[in-house]
């Protein structure tokens, strides 16, 4: 474990440079999301009359990379959020100044990596389009909005952000491991894929709870190091995700199962 800790730790990290970068370079996420949405639309048109690419090896390697990255991020951030939740009032865990708690050092470094990783994570959709798999609204909407929100949250260094980061790392650790094994043809048939969807639904429920209560503390006039517009946007985003994932679960695991019976 000490070897792993040494590989993952970055005790000298300070967030000020990246915060300034994200605040002064909004053209990057806007360009990324515009290019992404254009690719989603025109990519499907381009592939309409063409054979799908065989990208199983590339897909397995890409998902393996994201799985390892997510496992590492969860390993660093989850123990911290659990310790804070157990030892501090909930208000403190979502409102205390990040510079005084988790923004610097190893945890802060992995929070920063999480926020910026949402741009390269858009590559997920490239595989879907080039392999001519169904590109559903939930997929591209989720990728686009998470990327924009992650950039916004880090530019303001939202105090509640550690909850979002730890949850997302954890869910993605399981999800991308499953995708990697599936792409490599190694996924056990007994593994219930609905567990991933259930974990995503729970993530959205908790995310909504965190945003709403953070918003509540801020409206009471309490000192809370979050951007109010970011918390409102975050709550609306998580509510929409919750509804979409519940609908996805019903369509895939309830209605589809009844049709096959």
Active-site residue list: 142
Q: Where are the beta strands (DSSP E) in 5-109?
A: none
Supply the DSSP symbol for 99: G
CA distance 62 to 55: 10
CA distance 69 to 83: 22
Cβ atoms of residues 230 and 158 within 8 Å: yes
CA distance 113 to 103: 12
Which conformational region is residue 185 in: left (phi greater than 0), alpha (psi within -120 to 50 degrees), or beta? left
Q: How far is CA 3 from CA 6, 38, 92, in A?
A: 5, 43, 32
Closest CA to 171 of 146, 139, 201: 201
Query: How many CA atoms within 13 Å lie on the side-chain side of 163?
Result: 28
186 CA to centre of own chain: 25
CB atoms within 10 A of CB 259: 7
Task: Copy the structure tokens of residue 180.
Answer: 């990697």
Give Cβ neighbours of residue 107 (< 8 Å, ≥ 6 apart).
76, 77, 80, 162
CB atoms within 10 A of CB 241: 22
């Amino acid at each position: 474990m000490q070897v792993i800790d040494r590989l993952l730790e970055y005790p000298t990290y300070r967030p000020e440079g990246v915060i300034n970068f994200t605040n002064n370079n909004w053209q990057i996420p806007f360009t990324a999301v515009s290019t992404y949405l254009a690719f989603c639309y025109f990519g499907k048109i381009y592939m309409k009359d063409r054979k799908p690419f065989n990208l199983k090896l590339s897909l397995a390697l890409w998902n393996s990379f994201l799985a390892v990255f997510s496992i590492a991020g969860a390993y660093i951030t989850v123990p911290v959020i659990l310790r804070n939740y157990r030892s501090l009032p909930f208000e403190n865990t979502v409102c205390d100044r990040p510079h005084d708690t988790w923004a610097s050092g190893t945890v802060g470094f992995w929070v920063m990596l999480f926020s910026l990783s949402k741009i390269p994570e858009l590559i997920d959709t490239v595989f879907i389009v080039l392999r001519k798999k169904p590109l559903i609204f939930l997929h591209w909407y989720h990728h686009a909005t998470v990327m924009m929100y992650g950039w916004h949250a880090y530019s303001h260094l939202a105090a509640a952000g550690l909850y979002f980061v730890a949850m997302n790392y954890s869910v993605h650790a399981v999800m991308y491991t499953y995708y990697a094994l599936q792409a490599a043809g190694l996924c056990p048939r007994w593994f219930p894929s609905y567990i991933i969807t259930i974990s995503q639904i729970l993530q959205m429920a908790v995310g909504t709870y965190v945003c709403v209560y953070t918003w509540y503390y801020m409206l009471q006039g309490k000192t809370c190091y979050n951007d109010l517009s970011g918390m409102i946007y975050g709550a609306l985003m998580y509510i929409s995700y919750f509804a979409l994932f519940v609908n996805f679960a019903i369509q895939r695991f309830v209605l589809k199962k009844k049709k096959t019976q």
